[in-house]
């Protein structure tokens, strides 16, 4: 249920409502680092800002999301609850708070897990209610339904329903959503087929090639095809924008494939390269869509 932090900046309207001046240059620099997934560097600047602006909801939102990226559920909750108190109708904040509650549930002792899971689901549902046309929030629910037990409101049928909604909102995202669930259900052929049509039309589609490699890495199937697809990705420029696979992601998945092929030394080299290119890489945090 925990996926990549988060969406684009909405600070302009908040500043207008607060009657504040334009954000300082260090804020812009931190946002640029954050959006480029350079979370350690962004965190340092945001912490300087929050020391002088402790009630800035956008800074609290980003610091909370960064804390979750590094598995600090307590600090993430602290920042994100503060952001939500300031702006309860911001879908980004609600979804990130759901991430915090979900991570807390994973780490909690058994008898408190369901309470945290309930808070997680409520926050995700709130985000969807606020912005029903945004597939990002449906991804959060998909992850919840896929991972939570039925007693906590989970269920694979509910997850597939969210995947169908995502497909209606964004075809490319929908393919990845269905492939993600098919992989979880060990329906490997169906997962690969989600991207076959795209590659027939556009053989060098970076995302589709990457997803073929991901399917191979996670399933252990079609390893030669997965390796070739990922090696082709390394010859292409990665797509721009948030939440897109990078060359660091490609190196990591190529390492997965090589490991399954029994090529341990080559796999290790790919993992080292991935971490050199992105020291903040946390592949488990991209498990849903990347």
pLDDT of the residue at 290: 43
**8 A C-beta contact, residue 5 and residue 96:** yes
Q: How confident is the model at residue 263 (pLDDT cuts 50, 70, 90)?
A: very high
pLDDT of the residue at 23: 46
Alpha helices in the chain (DSSP H): 11-18, 25-35, 39-52, 57-69, 73-86, 91-107, 110-130, 135-147, 156-169, 171-184, 188-201, 206-219, 223-233, 247-260, 264-277
Any domain includes 126: no
Any domain includes 242: yes
Query: Would you say residue 98 has pLDDT above 70?
Result: yes
Mean pLDDT of the chain, nearest integer: 90
- Quote the CA–CA distance of 245 and 140 in Å, as a whole number: 18
- Quote the CA–CA distance of 117 and 98 in Å, as a whole number: 9
Any domain includes 167: no
| Higher per-residue pLDDT: 75 or 15 | 75
Any domain includes 274: yes
Any domain includes 247: yes
pLDDT of the residue at 95: 97
CATH code for the domain in which residue 246 is found: 1.25.40.10
Tokens of 270: 């790919």
Q: How confident is the model at residue 65 (pLDDT cuts 50, 70, 90)?
A: very high
Q: Poorest-confidence range of 21-25, 31-35, 113-117, 268-272?
A: 21-25
Any domain includes 29: no
Task: Give the range with max mean pLDDT: 22-26, 31-35, 121-125.
Answer: 121-125
The tally of domains found in the chain comes to 1
Any domain includes 34: no
Any domain includes 282: yes
Q: Using alpha carbons only, how large is the chain's radius of gyration in Å? A: 19
pLDDT of the residue at 286: 53
Tell me the residue range of the domain where 288 lies. 204-290
pLDDT of the residue at 282: 82
Query: Would you say residue 18 has pLDDT above 70?
Result: no
- Quote the CA–CA distance of 288 and 182 in Å, as a whole number: 12
């Amino acid at each position: 249920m925990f996926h990549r932090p988060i969406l684009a900046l909405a600070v302009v309207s908040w500043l207008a409502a607060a009657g504040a001046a334009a954000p300082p240059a260090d804020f812009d620099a931190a946002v640029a680092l954050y959006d480029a997934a350079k979370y350690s560097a962004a965190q340092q600047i945001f912490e300087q800002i929050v020391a002088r602006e402790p009630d800035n909801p956008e800074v609290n939102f980003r610091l909370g999301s960064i804390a979750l990226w590094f598995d600090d559920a307590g600090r993430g909750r602290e920042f994100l609850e503060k952001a939500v108190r300031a702006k309860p109708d911001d879908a980004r904040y609600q979804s990130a708070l759901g991430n915090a509650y979900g991570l807390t549930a994973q780490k909690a002792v058994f008898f408190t897990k369901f309470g945290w899971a309930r808070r997680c689901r409520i926050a995700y549902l709130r985000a969807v209610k606020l912005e029903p046309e945004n597939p990002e929030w449906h991804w959060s629910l998909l992850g919840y339904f896929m991972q939570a037990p039925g007693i906590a409101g989970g269920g694979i049928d509910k997850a597939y329903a969210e995947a169908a909604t995502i497909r209606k909102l964004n075809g490319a995202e929908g393919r990845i959503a269905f492939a993600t669930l098919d992989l979880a259900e060990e329906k490997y052929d169906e997962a690969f087929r989600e991207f076959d049509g795209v590659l027939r039309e556009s053989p060098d589609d970076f995302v589709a090639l990457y997803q073929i490699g991901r399917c191979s890495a996670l399933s252990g199937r079609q390893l030669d095809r997965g390796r070739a697809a990922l090696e082709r990705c390394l010859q292409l420029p990665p797509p721009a924008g948030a939440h897109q696979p990078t060359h660091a992601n490609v190196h990591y998945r190529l390492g997965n494939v090589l490991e399954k092929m029994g090529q341990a030394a080559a796999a290790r080299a790919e993992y080292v390269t991935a971490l050199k290119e992105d020291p903040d890489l946390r592949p488990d945090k991209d498990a849903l869509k990347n």
